[in-house]
Chain A
Amino acid sequence: MKNRNVVIIGGGITGLAAAYYLVKSGIKNISILEKSYLGSGSTGRCGSGIRQQFTTKEHIVLMKESVKLWKEWNNDLPIPIHFEQGGYLWLLSNKKELAQYKEYVTYQNTFGVESIIISAKEAKEIVPDLNTDKVIGASWCHTDGNAYPFDVTNALQTFLKREKVEINTFEEVNKIHVKNDKIQEVVTNKNRYATNTVINGAGYGAKYIGQLAGLNLPLQPYRHQIAASEPMNNFLGPMIVKGGLYFLQTHRGRIVGGTDLKEPPLSNLNSTLNFLEEYSKQIISVLPIISSVNIMKQWAGYYIVTPDRHPILGPTKINGFVLGCGYSGHGFMLGPVVGKLLASLIVHKNMYIAEANNLTLERFKTGKLIKERAVIG
C-alpha cells in the first residue's frame, strides 16, 4: 500500500499537465497511472492542432488561456515541444458559411482573440499553393498553431521524473474505493494507493474509471482517422480547414490531417481504405500539388464526445474525485489550461477561470448545456 496526495489516472496530456501544475504549486507525493505507454490514447493519436477559433465563451476563453500556457511551456519545458503559431486558415465556400463565420469572428474578437475574415485572394497570399476556385473567403487567426504530441509527453515526463513524480506505465486501475462519498483508495493490477484525491484523465477509459467510482459519465467514443505523408521541406505554413477536412505540416515536414467520415459512435480503432480515399480526394481539391506525395501511414483515435461537445471538468458529488475528460476532439489543445485548472481546484478549491465552472458534470443534471458549432475532423 502506498500513500499518495494525488493519484492521476491516465498518462495523456490531461494527467501530465495536471501533475505539472500540481508540482508547480508545491504538491508532492503524486502518482500517475497509465495502463499502456504515455500518450498511447487520444493524445498520441491527435491531429496536434491548437486553435482559439471556437464559437462559445467557454471554449474561447479557455483556449485563449491555453495558448498563453503553450507559449510558456515552449520556453519552460526541458525538451523542445515545437509549439508553433502558424495560424489556422479556415476556408469558407458559400455565403451562408461566410456570414456564420463573420459572426463567430466578431464574437471571438470580444474576448481578445485576433481572428479576422479575409478574402480568397488573401488566403492564397498566405498559402500560395491553395486552390481557391470554390473559396469565397476565410476565417484566419495567426496566433493559432500546433505542437508535437510526443515531444510534449516526453518533455512533461522528463520534468515530472526530475521532480520525483511517480509515473507508472502498463499499470491498470481495477477498483476505486469510495466511502461516504469520499475517495479512499485506488487499486491497480500491481499495487494499492491510499489517497483522498483522484483525477480521472483517462480519455477513452474515463467512462470506465467513472463507473469504478460509481458515476455514469455521458461520454461516447467516435473513431476519427488521420494520415501522415512523407516528410518534405516546410512549405505550407498554417493549419488548413475546409468543412470536415483539416491538415497541417508538422515541424518534421509531414502533412498530417484527416476528415470527418460522419461515422456513428464506434469502439474500434481500425484503419479503413474508405478514409484514405475520402481524405485524398478532399485534400487534393484544396492542395492539388500534393497529388504525387506519398502517404506513409494512417491511424485512428477517439474523440470522446459529450452531449454538448464541451469537456467535463472539475468536481463531482464524490469528494476528491476530479474530472478532466470528454473533450470531444479538443483535449490536446486544451491540455495546459485543463491541467492548470485541475491543479487550482485541488490546491485552492476553485478553478481559476470563471467559465470553467460552466463545464462541470453538474450541467447535465441542471440542463445548462453549451453547444459548440465549430467541430472539425
Chain B
Amino acid sequence: MKDEEIIICRCEDITLKEIKDAIHKGYKDIESLRKYLQLSAGPCQGKTCIPLTEKILAQELKKRIDEIAMPTTRPPETPVPFGIFSKAKK
C-alpha cells in the first residue's frame, strides 16, 4: 500500500504520507505534529494514532522508540457529557 492510502489518524483522516511529509518539514516531535496536522484531536483522543505516530517518528528520525517524547495524557479518560459533571456538583 502507498503511504497516501494508509490512514493513521482515523478521526481526523490523516495519512501516513502527511505525517512523514510534516516530519521532514521540521515537525519532529509528537506535540508539534499534533498541532500542525490536528492529529489525535478526535473522539478517540489519540488512543489509536499517537502510538502509531510514535513509531513513525522513531523510524523517520532513526531514533529508539523510548527517545520519542509522548504527549501529556489529559482528562477526561473518555468523552463525558457536560451534564454528568454538572450533576456531580452539589
Contacts and interface: CB of A to CB of B under 8 A. Distances in A.
Interface of A: 36-40, 44, 150, 153-154, 161, 169-170, 229-230, 252, 271, 273, 276-281, 283-284, 290-299
15 contacts: A36-B31, A37-B35, A40-B31, A153-B35, A276-B85, A277-B89, A280-B82, A281-B89, A291-B82, A291-B86, A292-B83, A294-B43, A295-B80, A296-B45, A298-B76
Given A290-B82, A293-B82, A298 B35 contact: no
B15 interface: no
Contacts of A292: 81-83
Given A37-B29, A38-B32, A153-B35, A294 B85 contact: no
Interface of B: 26, 29, 31-32, 35-36, 38, 41, 43, 45, 72, 74-76, 79-86, 88-89
Nearest to B72: A299
B86 A277 contact: yes
Contacts, number: 82
A172 B50 CA distance: 26
Give 6 nearest A-B pairs by CB, closest first: A294-B79, A280-B85, A291-B83, A150-B35, A277-B89, A280-B86
A294 B81 contact: yes
A229 B43 CA distance: 10
Given A295-B82, A297-B45, A298-B75, A44 B89 contact: no
Among A37, A38, A252, A298, the most chain B Cβ lie within 10 Å of the Cβ of A37
Contacts of B43: 230, 294, 296
A277 B75 contact: no
B61 to A, nearest CB: 13
Contacts of B75: 271, 273, 276, 297-298
A186 to B, nearest CB: 22
A209 B15 CA distance: 40
